[in-house]
Structure 1
Amino acid sequence: MVTHALDWLDAVAQEREAAGLRRVLTPRSAHGELLDLASNDYLGLATDPRVVSAGVEALRTWGAGATGSRLVTGTTELHAELEAALASFAGTESALVFSSGYAANLAVVTALCPAGSLVVSDSANHASLIDACRLARGRVQVVPHNDLAAFETALAQRTERRAVVVTESVDSIDGDGAPLARLHEICRRQGAVLVVDEAHGFGIVGPGGRGALAEAGLAGQDDVIVTVTLSKALGSQGGAVLGPRRVIGHLIGSARTMIFDTGLAPAAAGAALAALRVLEQEPALGRAAIRVAGALAAAAGVRAPHSAIVPVLIGDPGEAVAAARRCAVLGLRVGCFRPPSVPEGTSRLRLTARANLSRNHLLHACDVLRVVLGRTDNHAIDSRDEDSWRLSVRTP
C-alpha cells in the first residue's frame, strides 16, 4: 500500500502530544499584557529609548539590511565600530560580529577544530555548541558537566596535536557557573585552547558586566576565545567572537557562517552598540539583575543563582506546562523547558530576572510564584532603597 511520503510526521506529532511535549508558537503583543520573566532581556535594554533610537538611526543611515556577506558589502563602518567597542569592553585584542550567537558558535568551533584535532565539550553545552561540534571535522569527546578531572583526562589521553575545550560560562538551563580559572589551568597544562560561550554571562556577571572570564581574571588571555550574543543582556540581535587578533583573522578567512552569511542588519548593530554604551555608563545593571534573581529564587524556594537565570525544577512535562499556564493566568510569563531542551524527568520553569523590574512588579512576581508553587511562607520584598533588594517576611 502506497502512503504519502510525509505520513510519518503524523505519528511523530501524536507521540509528542502523548508525552506532553507538543510545542506551539504563541505570538505576543507589543503591549505586554503579562509581566515578563521568560525573555533574555536581562537588563531591560530591548525597549530602552536610547537603544531603540540608535537602532532607528542606524536603519535610516544604512538601510534595512547589510546587503551582503561580511566579505562583500555586509561590513559597514558601524559594524567595525561595534567590533572595536566589544573588544575594548571585554579586554580582548579583536572581535568579529555575526548575524546570531548561534552562527558565532558554529564559526569558532568548526574553524578551530579541523580534522586531526580534538574537541572536548561539556555535556550541558547549548545546542549551538553541540551542533558546532557535530560539524567540526575533529574528533569530539563529551565529558560530564563541569567535571574537571574528565576534562583533564580527555586532554591528557588524546593522540591529536591540537585540542579545544568548549564550555558555557553560565549554563543556559541551570544558571550555574563553570569553574573557568581551574579549567584554564588544565588547558594551559595540556596545550589546549579554551572556548567560552558567555551568552548568559556577558553583561551580567563580572566587573561592570564584563563576563565570567573577567571575573576569573582571564579576560584577554591569548589562549582563550569568547563568544557572546547581542540578543540577551544587550537587548538586540546578533553574536560575536572575541579573542586574539590572529584567531579573528582565521575566522574571516575560513568560518563558513562568516563567509556565506549576510551580515548583521545595521539596526541591530546600532542598537547593540548603544546598549553597550549604556552598560559602560551604568556598570551596576548586571548586579541589579542578579539581586532580582536572588529575590525570585527565594520566593520559589530554590538556591540563590550565580546569574540572572533561576531554574525551578518540576519534573513532569505536563505539570511544568500547567504551572507555566497558571503563572500566565495570574499575570506572569515564565519560561517552560521540557525534553529535548532538558533531560528526561527534569522539566522546569525557567525564570529570567530583569535589572529594571520595579519593586511592585517584583512583589507581584514573588506572590505569583508562591501561589503556583504552593509555598506556604509569605515571602515579600522589602526595599529600603531602589538599589538594594532583600527578602523579608510579610506581616499579615
Structure 2
Amino acid sequence: MISDEIDRNLEALAEENLLRRRRIVSSPCTVMAEVDGNPMLTFSSNDYLGLAAHPALAEAAAEAARQWGVGSGGSHVVTGHMMPHEMLEEALADFVGAPRALYFSTGYMANTGIVPALVGRGDAVFSDRLNHASLIDAVQLSRAENVRYRHNDMDHLAALLKDSQAKRKLILTDGVFSMDGDVAPLPALAELAEAHDAWLVVDDAHGFGILGHEGRGTLSHFGIPVTSRVIYIGTLGKAAGVSGAFVAGTDPVVEWLLQRTRTYTFTTASSPIITATLLKSLELIRKGSLLRARLFSLIERLRMGLSQSRWELLPSPTAIQPVIIGSNEEALRVSQALSDMGIFVPAIRPPTVPKGSARLRISLSTGHNDEHIDRLTDALKGLA
C-alpha cells in the first residue's frame, strides 16, 4: 500500500538521523527564548539586527492594523495592492538604488517566480552549487538548462558560459550563502555576465540589512549598481525582522516581472500590517550602523573563541558561522549536549548541506552580548 511506503521512507530517514523536528517557541523572537518549554540561549535565528521583537515595529504593526485592517482582500493585480504596499516598494527601490522594486509575500515565492519569468526552454541558468533550495527549485520550474558551477569558482563558470549555445543566459547566485556564510564574488560575476550577455540575479537573503552602505546589501558592498543586466532580490524576514521579499531592477524588468511572475500574480497580497511595519524596519536598518558594528564585533569574538577547536569553523565573515561536525549522528549529539546546557544551536544535515558535512549553524544577532558568546565557545570547546 502507498501508506506503507511512506512509513518505510520515514523509518529510513530516522535511521539516517535525517528526520526534522519542529521546536515550539513560547516567547518572542529574541536570543533568550523559551524553546519546547525550556529557557534557552539561542543561536538559531536569522534576526541578525534584533528587530523581530523591536517595540517600534510592534507599534507600527498596531497602528497599521487600526488604520488598514488585517487583510488585503485580493491579489496585487486586482484590488489587493494597497497604499502601504506601494509605499514600501518605493522605499525599497530608493534604499537599494534601483529605479523600481516589487514586493513578494515570501522569499521562496520571489525566487521561484522570478527565474521562470526570465528564462525558459532553450535558455540556460548557471547556478552556484551551494545556492539555496528555492533557487534550485526556481531553475527546475523554468525548464531552462540547469548548468551548475563549482562553488564560487569563476574559472569553471567562465568555461561553462563560453561553451554554452543557449539563446539566453542567466547567472544565479546567493549574495551570502546560507549554510557556509561566505560572500559571492559579485564583481567577477558581473564581469562574466557582461562578457557573455547574461543576466546576473543575486538572492541577497542574508546580506540585506547587514552588508553595504547603511545595510543596502552585497551589491552595495561591492559598489555594483542595479542595471538592466543586474537584478537584486532582498529578503525581509531576516535582518529586517518581519517577512517577505522584494526584487529590484530597471523599470522594464520589474514591469515584466509584475506581468509574468506567477507567484506574484496568482496569490493574495500580503497583509498591509506587514508592509507598513517593514517601512519602520527600513528606517531602523538605515540608521543601524552601530548595530552592524556590534554584530561584526560579536562575529570576531566568536571566531577568536573557536579558533583552537578541533571542529572546522568555516571562513565566514558574516553572521552565519558554521561549525563542521561531519556525521549526522555526531552533529545531533553535539546539538543535544548544548541544549542540555541551555544553549540552542541547530544541527544542519543533508540534503540541506552536502553529505558528510553536517554542522552546527551558529547565527549571531545584536541581541547577543560578549557573555553569551563566551558561554557558547566555552561549551563547544568543552564538548570538543
TM-score range, shorter chain: over 0.9
Matching residue of 1:252: 258
Matched, 1:149 2:144: no
1:187-226 equivalences under 5 Å are 187-226=193-232
Matching residue of 2:329: 318
1:123 to 97, 110, 129: 129
**Residue 345 (structure 1) shift:** 0.4
Matching residue of 1:165: 171
Change beyond 3 A, Cα 1:41–1:78: same
Tell me whether 109-118 or 343-352 shows the greater mean CA deviation. 109-118
Contact 1:108 1:251 in 2 (8 A): yes
1:271-310 equivalences under 5 Å are 271-301=277-307, 302=313, 305-310=316-321
1:29 to 26, 29, 32: 26
SS state of the match for residue 231, structure 2?
Answer: strand
**Residue 287 (structure 1) shift:** 3.3
Matching residue of 1:355: 366
SS state of the match for residue 76, structure 2?
Answer: coil
1:97-108 equivalences under 5 Å are 97-108=103-114
**Residue 142 (structure 1) shift:** 1.1
Matched, 1:182 2:188: yes
Matched, 1:369 2:364: no
> Which letter maps to 2:374?
L
> Which letter maps to 2:262?
R
Alpha-carbon distance in structure 1 between the residues aligned to 2:264 and 2:159: 33
**Residue 227 (structure 1) shift:** 0.9
TM-score, L = length of structure 1: 0.90
1:235 to 207, 232, 241: 241
Alpha-carbon distance in structure 1 between the residues aligned to 2:355 and 2:346: 17
Contact 2:314 2:323 in 1 (8 A): no
Alpha-carbon distance in structure 2 between the residues aligned to 1:86 and 1:348: 34
**Residue 124 (structure 1) shift:** 0.5
Between the aligned residues of both structures, percent identity stands at 37
**Residue 303 (structure 1) shift:** 5.1
Matching residue of 1:8: 5
Matched, 1:341 2:338: no
Instruction: State the Cα RMSD in Å.
Output: 1.5
> Which letter maps to 1:123?
R
Contact 1:312 1:350 in 2 (8 A): yes
Matching residue of 1:385: none
Tell me whether 15-24 or 354-363 shows the greater mean CA deviation. 354-363
SS state of the match for residue 261, structure 1?
Answer: coil
Matching residue of 1:62: 68
SS state of the match for residue 2, structure 2?
Answer: coil
Matched, 1:19 2:16: yes
Change beyond 3 A, Cα 1:129–1:363: same
Alpha-carbon distance in structure 2 between the residues aligned to 1:186 and 1:365: 41
> Which letter maps to 1:283?
S
Matching residue of 2:310: none
**Residue 304 (structure 1) shift:** 5.2
SS state of the match for residue 116, structure 1?
Answer: coil
Q: How many residues align?
A: 370
TM-score, L = length of structure 2: 0.93
Q: Give deviations 1:281-307, integer Å, cap 9, x for gaps.
A: 222323322221222222233355221
SS state of the match for residue 342, structure 1?
Answer: coil
Contact 1:298 1:304 in 2 (8 A): no
Contact 2:326 2:356 in 1 (8 A): yes
Alpha-carbon distance in structure 1 between the residues aligned to 2:42 and 2:158: 41
Contact 1:294 1:304 in 2 (8 A): no
1:30-49 equivalences under 5 Å are 30=27, 32=33, 33-49=39-55
> Which letter maps to 1:15?
A
Alpha-carbon distance in structure 2 between the residues aligned to 1:220 and 1:68: 30
Alpha-carbon distance in structure 2 between the residues aligned to 1:71 and 1:230: 22
Q: Give deviations 1:180-221, integer Å, cap 9, x for gaps.
A: 001110110110110001001111112221111111111323
Alpha-carbon distance in structure 1 between the residues aligned to 2:379 and 2:69: 43
Gaps of 5+ in 2: 34-38, 308-312
Contact 2:97 2:226 in 1 (8 A): yes
Alpha-carbon distance in structure 1 between the residues aligned to 2:379 and 2:269: 42
Alpha-carbon distance in structure 2 between the residues aligned to 1:74 and 1:274: 21
Alpha-carbon distance in structure 1 between the residues aligned to 2:2 and 2:314: 49
**Residue 113 (structure 1) shift:** 0.7
